[in-house]
Amino acid sequence: MSDWIVSAEGGLWSVAAVAFLAATVLPMPSEAALAGYVLLHPGQAGGALLVAGLANTAGGMTTWAVGRWLSTRVPGRLEQQLRERLRRWGAPALLLAWVPLLGDALVLGAGWLRLHPLACALWQALGRFARYALVVHAVGGGSPALG
């Protein structure tokens, strides 16, 4: 089993799982998982970046969906506070979705306020992919688009 986890295929599944869970309210070391994978499989840096970015964005959209669901079940006092904080920036605020704790609150709030899901996904993806590209570059994965 442990050989499969460090294999190229198993490692990608592990990176995807950790990246997905890290974008929910569960604290997971997604950058460490990605960095470890790229160190073990430097030729797979581009694929790892793609998998991590997509999984992390999907996890963020799960948090967005939870926010939307909660908005129909929790009284509206919180909604006014969210509107005041997110009204100025809207979906582009989700560029910061990758920031621990703050990002989770922003994404949950965006779902609560029913900001457009496609805009939320795109802004999140932009920030999340940029962060992961820096991680890949920092561990010597070269140009992730080419590696």
Tell me: the pLDDT tens digits for 45-79? Answer: 999 999 999 999 999 999 999 999 988 877 666 66
Q: Which has more confidence, 143 or 117?
A: 117
Q: What is the pTM of this model?
A: 0.84
**Inside any domain, residue 131:** yes
User: What's the number of domains the chain is made of?
Assistant: 1
**Inside any domain, residue 147:** no
pLDDT at 117 over 90: yes
How many other CB atoms are found less than 10 A from the CB of residue 130? 12
How many residues appear in the chain? 147
**Inside any domain, residue 120:** yes
**Inside any domain, residue 144:** no
Domain encompassing residue 81: 2-138
**Inside any domain, residue 143:** no
Question: pLDDT of 18-40, one tens digit each?
Answer: 999 999 878 788 999 999 999 99
